[in-house]
């Protein structure tokens, strides 16, 4: 949970590229999101010369009308804000943007270094490979849960893949990293823990669906089982975190 007055992260990593969502720009700039989207579309040709501009649809956590947005990389974002008048919010946004892009680039470099070192460790490679079939089985069962929940009226079932992964990761680990695949920077022991938890989640989902339990209750039951398992081992810190690498 964010501390009071703590700013949400503005720059994120998508496929190891630092980007900003147009949805996250409107708050700091003090403008409506549609105004930013209009600006992107007006100068879309120039932005596409810099890099791809792909609009996506996002539905709010409580449903509602889908919102069209896109991610912009550092050069695209810089170009877009140069088109805006230098009001106080815009100047603050530019300053914050430059610092966050710098930090994210460093974070991606750190995470890639940890992942590269792991790939040279035989014990880690064996642990990573042994966990992949179990993860695929869990994903297959999550696919069944999505269909199960949709049939029961869920409008956000497509988000369950990320929801269940975040739930497990946040219970098991202290996570400071912001970029890359978490499993690529875990150590061999943490990969073993994840393998067991993947089994727990898979079994819990299958049992819940077989018993006809409501999809929300299945999530609560599964979370309780993961927490019970985690209590036996305690939380560990992901080796790729900023704190450990600095």
pLDDT digits (tens, 9 = 90+) for 62-82: 556 778 899 999 999 999 999
Closest to 55 (Cα-Cα) out of 158, 29, 66, 178: 66
Q: CA 39, CA 125: separation in Å to the nearest integer?
A: 46
Q: How many CB atoms lie within 10 A of CB 49?
A: 10
Q: How many CB atoms lie within 10 A of CB 103?
A: 15
The domain boundary residue, chosen from 114, 131, 151:
114
The whole-number pLDDT of residue 112 equals: 87
Structural domain harbouring 147: 121-245
pLDDT band at 190 (very low <50, low <70, confident <90, very high): very high
Residues 148 and 237 in one domain: yes
Span 200-227, average pLDDT: 97
Residues 179 and 202 in one domain: yes
Those residues whose C-beta lies under 8 Å from the C-beta of residue 61, and which sit 6 or more positions away, are 156
Span 13-27, average pLDDT: 89
The whole-number pLDDT of residue 181 equals: 83
Q: CA 117, CA 128: separation in Å to the nearest integer?
A: 13
- Could you tell me the sign of the dihedral formed by the alpha carbons of 157, 162, 167, 168, in that order? positive
Six-digit token string for 225: 């089982």
C-alpha angle 128/195/110, rounded to 5°?
45
Residues 154 and 79 in one domain: no
Residue 116 has pLDDT above 80, yes or no: yes
The whole-number pLDDT of residue 233 equals: 82
pLDDT band at 231 (very low <50, low <70, confident <90, very high): very high
Residues 145 and 241 in one domain: yes
Residues 106 and 192 in one domain: no
The whole-number pLDDT of residue 67 equals: 86
2 in a structural domain: no
Number of domains into which the chain is organized:
2
> What is the percent of the chain where pLDDT is above 90?
64
Rg of the chain on CA atoms, in Å: 21
Q: Across the chain, what does the average pLDDT equal? A: 88
- Residue bearing the bigger pLDDT, 199 or 59: 199
5 in a structural domain: no
Provide the 3-class DSSP secondary structure of residue 238.
coil
The whole-number pLDDT of residue 207 equals: 97
CA neighbours closer than 13 Å in the CB half-sphere of residue 202: 15
Residues 77 and 146 in one domain: no
Residue 244 has pLDDT above 60, yes or no: no
Span 167-185, average pLDDT: 84
**Element spanning 144, H or E:** helix 122-151
127 in a structural domain: yes
The domain boundary residue, chosen from 96, 114, 132:
114
pTM above 0.85, yes or no: no
Residues 41 and 85 in one domain: yes
Q: How many CB atoms lie within 10 A of CB 91?
A: 12
Those residues whose C-beta lies under 8 Å from the C-beta of residue 131, and which sit 6 or more positions away, are 183, 191, 192, 194, 195, 198
The domain boundary residue, chosen from 74, 99, 114:
114
Residues 141 and 236 in one domain: yes
Residues 86 and 161 in one domain: no
6 in a structural domain: no
pLDDT band at 245 (very low <50, low <70, confident <90, very high): very low
Residues 52 and 143 in one domain: no
The whole-number pLDDT of residue 98 equals: 92
Residues 190 and 223 in one domain: yes
Given the structure tokens 């991606």, which residue do they identify?
108
Residues 231 and 212 in one domain: yes
The whole-number pLDDT of residue 238 equals: 81
4 in a structural domain: no
62 in a structural domain: yes
3 in a structural domain: no
Residue 217 has pLDDT above 50, yes or no: yes
Give whole-number Cα distances, 152 to 156, 202, 206, in Å.
Answer: 11, 20, 16
Those residues whose C-beta lies under 8 Å from the C-beta of residue 232, and which sit 6 or more positions away, are none
Closest to 38 (Cα-Cα) out of 69, 82, 63: 69
């Amino acid at each position: 949970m964010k501390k009071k007055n703590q700013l949400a992260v503005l720059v994120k990593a998508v496929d190891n590229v630092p980007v900003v969502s147009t949805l996250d720009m409107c708050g700091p700039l003090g403008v409506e999101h549609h105004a930013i989207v209009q600006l992107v579309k007006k100068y879309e040709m120039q932005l596409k010369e810099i890099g791809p501009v792909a609009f996506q649809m996002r539905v709010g956590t409580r449903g509602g009308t889908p919102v069209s947005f896109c991610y912009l990389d550092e050069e695209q974002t810089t170009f877009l804000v140069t088109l805006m008048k230098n009001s106080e919010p815009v100047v603050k946004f530019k300053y914050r943007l430059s610092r966050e892009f710098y930090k994210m680039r460093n974070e991606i470099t750190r995470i890639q270094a940890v992942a590269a070192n792991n790939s040279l460790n035989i014990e880690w490679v064996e642990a990573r490979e042994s966990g992949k079939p179990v993860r695929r089985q869990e994903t297959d069962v999550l696919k069944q849960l999505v269909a199960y929940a949709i049939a029961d009226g869920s409008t956000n079932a497509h988000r369950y893949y990320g929801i269940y992964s975040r739930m497990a990761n946040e219970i098991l680990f202290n996570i400071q990293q912001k970029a890359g695949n978490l499993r690529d920077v875990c150590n061999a022991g943490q990969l073993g823990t994840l393998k067991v938890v993947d089994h727990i989640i898979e079994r819990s989902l299958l049992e819940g669906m077989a018993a006809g339990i409501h999809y929300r209750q299945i999530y609560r039951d599964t979370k309780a089982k993961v927490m019970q398992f985690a209590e036996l081992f305690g939380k560990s810190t992901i080796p790729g975190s900023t704190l450990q690498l600095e």
